Structure 1
Amino acid sequence: MSTPTPRAPHLRVGADGEAQAAAYLQAQGLALLERNYRCRAGELDLIMRDDRGVVVFVEVRVRSNPDYGGPLASITPRKQRRLARAAAHWLQARRLTHQALCRFDVVAFSADGQPEWLRNAFSAAP
């Protein structure tokens, strides 16, 4: 029987950030639908639903070193397009494309560990 390989430190930090973000958003009234959805188009960290039924695709960013820019600076237009394609894939796989209202939020953690929640952080428009 083999022992599982330990996760790289940056992967542990990311997973911890996602868990903290999920707990934070649930405390704010959002319901967790899915975590770490992967498809060919990309990965969605958290998929949640707010109290009005809006599907919320959440990108979680954790940055411990401010020298590389803040957590929000890393969500480039290219990354936004990948997230939008992955979200479209998720919606289509669940046959929700015509009825679901959705938005893209970001939960960012900086060095102090406090979450910053940005609702409607970007649009899925090309």
Structure 2
Amino acid sequence: MSKKKGNIAEDLACEFLENNGFKIVERNFYSKFGEIDIIVQKDKVLHFIEVKSGENFEPIYNITFKKLEKIIKTINYFLMIKNITMPYQIDAVIVNEKIEIVENITF
């Protein structure tokens, strides 16, 4: 997927999240370990969002064990440098014909 299409998917995901009561904390947080697409907060819980989109396949399957490992390392780094101790979870927002959230993803 091109960077442009990825940015469009992330913009749509942000709009979806805000419309569902999430507050955007940060977008595109980078570390040497990887990237978090969107960080949001709702009900005193941080949600680290991986955005996936695509056509003619299920984008959720692009979240691999290796990708999740990078996300977790990046989350730990984010929490450390921001000195945050609140509860969190890892979610995915799938942008396809419709937009949906898959909460608390893990392997």
Normalising TM by the smaller chain, what interval?
Answer: over 0.9
Residue 71 of structure 2 is aligned to residue 83 of structure 1: yes
How many residues get paired?
A: 107
Share of identical aligned residues, percent? 24
Distance (whole Å) between structure 2 residues aligned to residue 116 and residue 71 of structure 1: 11
Cα displacement (A) at 1:10: 0.8
User: Any residues of structure 2 matched to 1:43-54 within 5 Å, and which?
Assistant: 43-50=35-42, 52-54=43-45
Gaps of at least 5 residues in structure 1 are 1-8
4+ aligned runs moved over 4 Å, structure 1: none
TM-score, normalised on structure 1? 0.81
SS at match of 2:18: helix
SS at match of 1:100: coil
Equivalent residue, structure 1, for 2:106: 122
**Which residue type is aligned with residue 49 of structure 2?**
V
Give the structure with higher Rg (CA): 1
Cα displacement (A) at 1:64: 2.1
2:34 paired residue among 39, 42, 61: 42
Distance (whole Å) between structure 1 residues aligned to residue 95 and residue 12 of structure 2: 10
SS at match of 1:121: coil
Gaps of at least 5 residues in structure 2 are none
Greater RCO (CA < 8 Å, at least 6 residues apart)? 2
Equivalent residue, structure 2, for 1:60: 51
Equivalent residue, structure 1, for 2:94: 108
TM-score, normalised on structure 2? 0.94
Residue 18 of structure 2 is aligned to residue 26 of structure 1: yes
